[in-house]
Structure 1
Amino acid sequence: MTPLRHGDRSQAVRHLQTNLNNNGARLIVDGHYGDATEAAVRVYQLSVGLVADGIAGSKTLAVLAGDDCEQLLKHADLVNAAQRLDMPLANLYAVNEVESKGRGFLDIGKPVILFERHIMYRQLSKVRNDSDNHTDLKRRADQLAAAHPAIVNPKAGGYVGGAAEHQRLGSARVLDDTAAPEAASWGAFQIMGFHWKRLGYASVQDFVTAMSANESQQFDAFVRFIETAPTLYKALKTRQWAVFAKHYNGPDYQRNLYDIKLQRAFERHSECGCGQNPVEVLRSASIHQQRQAAP
């Protein structure tokens, strides 16, 4: 489902405006996603507790259609994280918009994952206890790679996407129930399982349980990730977007313009007053609507 956002003009926007009006907005149903419509979306999002980004994405449209939002990321989660990290709320709104994968769960109810076969190979070779012999571990990893190259491999690849990634994970868990979940990235922010100890979870299974609960828990893992990475934390707090994108996305961040997208998202959320009191947002929407209606 393609998100509807500021500047769009379509029949889908007319339908959105009608649904918003049915929920208390007073929009001109003209099919133009202008300032008033964006503000009305924020009002609705705040009223149901969703992240108030002003974008009518799949989550907002689903809740408007009557779906439950209990499992979804909340505005309060970002507010609490901003206080916890001592930074402007707009910083986190920008990161959520650009860096998250949109939804943290598949339609089948399982968390979004991506299984990394090269990380599985690495984790199988990892010395975990004093009694472990690296040579023996490496030999076993090589044997498994020869027998199961799709899920154990020194080289990255083999991705199938969507629910099929859980099938790959399931096959890997048969081989090793610790290395397998460590070798997958989890949730909307794609946090790798092997970070579980650094992030303060009791075990990788505890981490997986949290990632499988709701998007709020997935976002909490992201916050822990930022807290335990001084360079990332400083870059996010001071809005050094290129530095943040490089360390979070890797050296190819420029190819996808992550730093520019983050800057633009921050500016938009700062200007629109994310986290603003719903009454003030509604007042802003009313003003914008009057301006649009003026001859």
Structure 2
Amino acid sequence: MKTIKLGYTGNEVQLLSDSLKRNGYPVDSTTVFTESMSQSVIKFQAANGLDADGIVGYRSWEQLLFNGRATTQKLVEDDFQLLGLLLDCEPAALKTVQKVETGGRGGFFALGKPAILFEGHIFWSQLKSRGIDPNKFVAGNSNILYPKWEKGHYKGGLGEYDRLEQARTIHREAADASASWGMFQIMGFNYASCGEKSVESFVKSMHESECKQLILFGRFIRQAKMLPALQSKSWATFAKQYNGPAYAKNEYDKKLAAAYAGFSHK
């Protein structure tokens, strides 16, 4: 979405008008960004913890589009359509990442339990980054604390919460930062790129709903400059950015291409 402000003329203003009305701020239907509309935007921004400057940028659009709607725990088609509009990205491309990351499953293992995968090698580095020597905690914790990646300790599903809780007894923030969260499996240490002020607020948001997980994903790929690759469906580039250097070994790009082909042909 374009960033717009007082005096702007275009179709985006009609969408702004409709969104303001839905959120309880009556304005005239128009394609011109008027002074009265600017004042309504400022009031909306102030009420939602945004910079109250009357300029409708990404975060203001996000709030305007997603607020004031009936929401459910599970994602619905409108959620993908709205994020696609916000990011100028084909909804099918967003669905593609969701399908590959979750295998088609949802963003929660159970009620109040977002999907997670705990990474012991990340926990090692997260402790070190906080000035804590991980070697002091290895005894009795070798299943959650190790210097190099290995997959042998994964339990999968709700079993990952056993590992997370074990790590939390050592250091809660570092533990939460060392798990990937939600249907898009975003690492907790990426909280700032998701527009969150702390690991704690990031985890809280991941508990809200699948829609909130989708919103954080949008912020993440935009902030981390992955969006252009997803917009252009450059799967190898996006796979490397999102999944890391081992993407080819895991055939992540091929999985993305195959999933997209399924969505785009519907």
Q: CA deviation at 1:247?
A: 1.8
How far residue 258 of structure 1 moved from its aligned partner, in angstroms, is 3.0
| Matches of 2:209 and 2:245, distance apart in 1 | 30
Matched, 1:148 2:141: yes
Aligned-partner residue type, residue 172 of structure 2:
D
Aligned position for 2:113: 110
C-alpha displacement of 1:203: 1.3
Runs of 4+ residues over 4 Å off in structure 1: none
Count of residue pairs the alignment pairs up: 193
Measure, in 2, the Cα distance between the counterparts of 1:171 and 1:268.
40
Between 1:199-208 and 1:256-265, the stretch displaced more is: 256-265
SS at match of 1:70: coil
Indicate whether 1:248 and 2:242 are aligned: yes
Letter in 2 for 1:155: K
Unaligned runs of 5+ residues in structure 2 are 1-70
Query: Deviation string for 1:165-208 (max 9, x for gaps)?
Result: 10111111111111010011111111100111222212111111
Q: Aligned partners of 1:108, 1:268: CA distance in 2, in Å?
A: 29
What per-residue deviation string (whole Å, max 9, x for no partner) do you get for residues 11-63 of structure 1?
A: xxxxxxxxxxxxxxxxxxxxxxxxxxxxxxxxxxxxxxxxxxxxxxxxxxxxx
Structure-2 residue corresponding to 1:96: 98
Aligned residue in 2 for 1:126 = 129
Find the counterpart in structure 1 of residue 217 from structure 2: 222
The SS at the match of 1:185 is strand
Show the counterpart of 2:21: none
Cα-to-partner distance string for 1:226-285 (whole Å, 9 max, x where unaligned): 11121x21111111111111222233333443323333433443343xxxxxxxxxxxxx
Alignment partners' CA distance in 2, 1:215 and 1:159 = 23
Alpha carbons 1:196, 1:207 under 8 Å: kept: yes
Please provide the CA RMSD for this pair: 2.0
Deviations 1:44-93 (A, max 9, x none): xxxxxxxxxxxxxxxxxxxxxxxxx9311121211111111112222223
Q: Does 1:194 align with 2:196?
A: no
Partners of 1:203 and 1:111 in 2: CA distance: 18
Structure 1 unaligned spans of 5+: 1-68, 128-136, 273-295
* Aligned residue in 2 for 1:207: 202
Larger Rg: 1
In structure 1, C-alpha distance between the alignment counterparts of 2:223 and 2:187, rounded to whole Å: 14
1:78 to 2:80 alignment = yes
Q: Separation in 1 of the partners of 2:212 and 2:249?
A: 30
User: In 1, are the aligned partners of 2:206 and 2:212 still within 8 Å (CA)?
Assistant: yes
Conservation of the 8 A alpha-carbon contact between 2:193 and 2:224:
no
Higher relative contact order (CA closer than 8 Å, sequence separation 6+): 1
CA offset digits 1:89-114 (Å, max 9, x no partner): 22223222323342111135411111
What is the CA–CA distance in structure 2 between the aligned matches of 1:93 and 1:104, rounded to whole Å?
13
What is the 5 A alignment of 1:272-291?
272=266
1:121–1:145 Cα contact (<8 Å) kept: no
Letter in 1 for 2:110: D
What amino acid maps onto 1:223 in structure 2?
G
CA distance in 2, matches of 1:86, 1:229: 16
Q: Percent identity?
A: 41
How far, CA to CA, are the matches of 1:98 and 1:222 in structure 2?
A: 14
Amino acid at match of 1:82: G
Q: Write the distance in 2 (CA, Å) between the matches of 1:201 and 1:169.
A: 21
Alpha-carbon spacing, 1:229–1:153, altered in 2? closer, same or farther (3 Å)? same
